[in-house]
Every structure is written in structure tokens, then in C-alpha cells.
Amino acid sequence: MDFILTLLSIISFWEVGYLTNFYFLHKKQINLSSFFGLGLGIVGLMQILLGLAQIKLQQSLVLTFFILTTLWVLLLYKKKQKKIKLTLKLDAKKLIPILSLAVFILFISYLSLLSNVWGYDAYSIWLARARAFWLDGSVSRFNLYFFWPFDHPILWPLSISWIYFFLGKANEYYSQVLVLSIWIAIILIFLQQIKLKKIHSILWFSILLTTPFLYGNVIWNEYVGNADLLASFFLLLAISQIIKKNFLHSVLFLFFTTISKNDLLPASLLFLVLTPLVYRKDFFQEKITAWLALLLFIIGNFTWKAYYQFDNRYINNALHLELLNRDLKDSLIYSLHAFREEWRQLYRWGLGWWLILYGFIIGFKEILSSKEYRLCFLILLGQLISYLIVYYLTPEDQATNISTSIYRLSLQIYPSVLYLGYKLIETKK
């Protein structure tokens, strides 16, 4: 019964995303993964607002909400049955590859559910907060300050607590189902782009599936439960929607990355800075609405943090840089070399980063000719540079800090960079 309730909680994310897209985002046809990601973010925001209003959730309320949204979705489907189309279409030629993929996903699912989460960061930061949100029924000043670091975003623990509300109890084991769902959603984003008749298309998809650290975040219990996979999922959704020119969707997903991991705040800021420069005259069409929406979201996030009086560790560190006696140039070069060495590690990334390099070299002309590709490239490049700057700002020993976090930061951008590389090659061909 617990597993069924967990699956229902996953479905509820999709339903909320579907309804949000239908009523507020011009009913644009987006894929199943986008509905799921949209629902994750909206449910988290809803919990934050309920916390501000001091309204507490409980199992009966959440299950009632699920029943109502399910009936609502079914009613909409009945009325709009002829207009609703699934992006994913199957035919006889695709049956064998799809069945093979299904077997692989089932195998990874089996491995992921063999044991419980035991990673220190997962238990002491993310899942501990999720349990606290469930126990208290909402976000409060007390449970936000109970776990250090206080300035950590809370979308991931809120998403886990949503599952706990469905279960009526806190059980870290079932948080793995959400992690698994996010991994499957990433796969579906790529799956809807591949063309089975093209070898290069199958190659890129195979590289994604066999990237050790990507599926490792689903089956390696020391990593399961952290927020990096969620953040990478939202960034991938944002990049894919920019390429499709769905800018309102893209800014929502960029904002969700911001409230998933502080590390990805630069991606949203870069969108605000770069979009007017890249589009110029075209900026004052659909882009201005999306731009203003993201600006308001970020201001709202900072206002919320100010309300709860959160400090920012990076700003505080920047005020004490003189004590570090660390040369900026040497620090940036050292970090850049560290990323280069990290991406060469086959046991973590397979051939993924080598394939990405190939895609960017071959498709570089597409970056110059397409505004959407150019914007995505600059955002991802700027995000990488921000990692180098963060390593400079943090007071810990740089070598130690890099060795314990560089693979997590790489994961945050890896699916997005791989996706952009594939689109560049596909457009060129």
C-alpha cells in the first residue's frame, strides 16, 4: 500500500503540471517530463505559500487534493480528447528498442530499491528537512533554522515531504522512487529527440543511458537523496524549452533550479543579462514577459529569504577574501584544470564529455547562427565560470573542496550540455 501511495504522489506532480500548463501557459504542447517538472516546482511553491500563511498539511487534505486534481484532469481530457496529443508516438519499428529501454529502466529500478538511503548529506540535510516539514505540517521559521546550512534551498525536501504526506508517515526508503522518476524523466526528454534510423542519434542516447554517475545517482545509495539530480533535471528542462522558444516555461524551470540548489542561481541571472543582448529588438516580444516573470520570481525568492533572515555563505565569504590570501588567477586556473581532469574520468562519465566536445566543435556554427543555441551556450558557459568563482570564494582548502564537490557540480550541467551538443549536431545534419 505504501508503494501505491508513493506512485500516486508522483502522479500528482504530473497532474499539477498538466493543469498549470493548460490554464496559465497558453496550453502549449509540452512533453510528459515537462509536466512532471512543472508540477514538482508548483507543488513546492504551494507548500512555501501555505507555510507563510501558517496553514498545515496532513494526509487527508493531500489525498483530497489528489482526488480533485485527478477528476479535473479526467474531465479536461474528456472535453479536449481530440486536441490532446502525446508527444511520444510508437510504431512497429520502435517496438524492440523501446522494449529494450524498458528492460534497462526496470533493471535500474530494481537496483535502486534494493536498499535504503544512507548518504550523510542526504540524511543530515535534505531528508532530515523533509521529515521536519512533514512532522510540522508546513515550512516554519523553526524547522528552517533547525538544520545547517540554513541558506540551502528547500524545493527538494518539500518534494520529498509531499510523498510523506501521501504516506501519512516519513520513510526515507520511498524517497528513492522520486529520484528514480526524475532519472526516467531525463531519459524521456532525450528519447523524444532521437531518430532510430540515425547512428549518431542512437549513440548520443546510449551515452546518456550508460553514463555511470547519472544512473549512479539512482542506484548508489551514498548519492541518492541529494538535490543535484533534481537541479540538473530543471536546468535540462529550461535549456530544452529555450531551444523550443517556450520562454515562459524556460524561466519557470530556471527559477526552480534556483530554489533547488544555490549553485544554479547564476543560470537565472545570466538569462536576465543575456536575453536582451542576444535578442535585442526581438526582446520586446514574448521574451520581455518571460524576462519580467523571472525577475519577479528571483525578487520574490530573495524577499522570502529576507523574511526568514537567511544569510548567504558566499556573500559572507566574499567579505573576508583578504584573509584568504588567494590569488584569483591561480585559483581559476587550478579549478579549470580540476574540471578538465574530472571530465576525463571514464568510471564516472564514460565518453559523455568527449562526445560533448565533439558536438560543440562540429556544431559551433549553429551557435553563431541561432539565437536560441547561442543563449543556451552562454548560460551554460557562464554557469561553469560561476563554479570556478565559487571555488575561489569559499574559505575551505581549495583542493579538498574540489575533490568533494566537483562531480556534483558537473552533474548539474551534464544533461543540459549533452542535450545541447546533440541538438547542434542534429541541426547541422
SS (H, E, C) 399-428: HHHHHHHHHHHHHHHHHHHHHHHHHHHHHH
Tell me how far apart the alpha carbons of residues 257 and 416 are, in angstroms, rounded to a whole number: 12
Question: What residue type is 20 in one-letter code?
Answer: T
Q: Can you spell out the DSSP letters for 201-258?
A: HHHHHHHHHT-HHHHHHHH-TTTTT-SHHHHHHHHHHHHHHHHTT-HHHHHHHHHHHH
Q: Give the model's pLDDT for residue 278.
A: 94
Q: Provide the residue ranges of all domains of the chain, joining segments of one domain with +.
A: 1-82+98-226
Instruction: Give the CA angle between residues 266, 17, 263 to the nearest 5°.
Output: 15
What contacts 237, CB < 8 A, 6 or more positions away? Answer: 33, 34, 37, 189, 249, 250, 253
Tell me how far apart the alpha carbons of residues 12 and 18 are, in angstroms, rounded to a whole number: 10
Alpha helix stretches (DSSP H) within 308-397: 313-318, 321-324, 328-343, 346-349, 352-362, 364-369, 371-393
CA 381 → CA 115, 274, 372, distances in Å?
A: 37, 12, 14
**Hey, how many other C-beta atoms are within 10 angstroms of the C-beta on 225?**
28
Residue-level length of the chain: 429
Q: Give the model's pLDDT for residue 312.
A: 60
Question: What residue type is 328 in one-letter code?
Answer: L
This prediction has a pTM of: 0.93
The angle, 0 to 180 degrees and rounded to 10, between the axes of the packed helices 175-191 and 2-24 is 50
**C-alpha cell recorded at residue 72:** 479535473
The angle, 0 to 180 degrees and rounded to 10, between the axes of the packed helices 32-52 and 286-307 is 40
Name the nearest CA neighbour of 120 among 11, 223, 262. 223
Digit-by-digit pLDDT tens for the chain (429 residues) are 899 999 999 999 999 999 999 888 876 667 899 999 999 999 999 999 999 998 999 999 999 999 999 999 999 887 765 554 545 555 556 677 788 899 999 999 999 998 888 777 788 788 889 999 999 998 888 888 776 676 788 899 999 999 999 999 999 999 999 999 999 999 999 998 887 667 888 889 999 999 999 999 999 877 887 899 999 999 999 999 999 999 999 999 999 999 999 999 999 999 999 999 999 888 887 789 999 999 999 999 999 888 877 766 555 555 555 455 678 888 899 999 999 999 999 999 999 999 999 999 999 999 999 999 999 999 999 999 999 998 988 877 889 989 989 999 999 999 999 999 999 998 876
**C-alpha cell recorded at residue 222:** 551514498
Tell me how far apart the alpha carbons of residues 329 and 339 are, in angstroms, rounded to a whole number: 16
Name the nearest CA neighbour of 383 among 252, 274, 294. 274
Alpha helix stretches (DSSP H) within 53-118: 59-79, 92-112
**C-beta of residue 314 within 8 angstroms of C-beta of residue 390:** yes
CA 335 → CA 252, 285, 314, 340, distances in Å?
A: 30, 39, 17, 9
Q: Give the model's pLDDT for residue 35.
A: 95
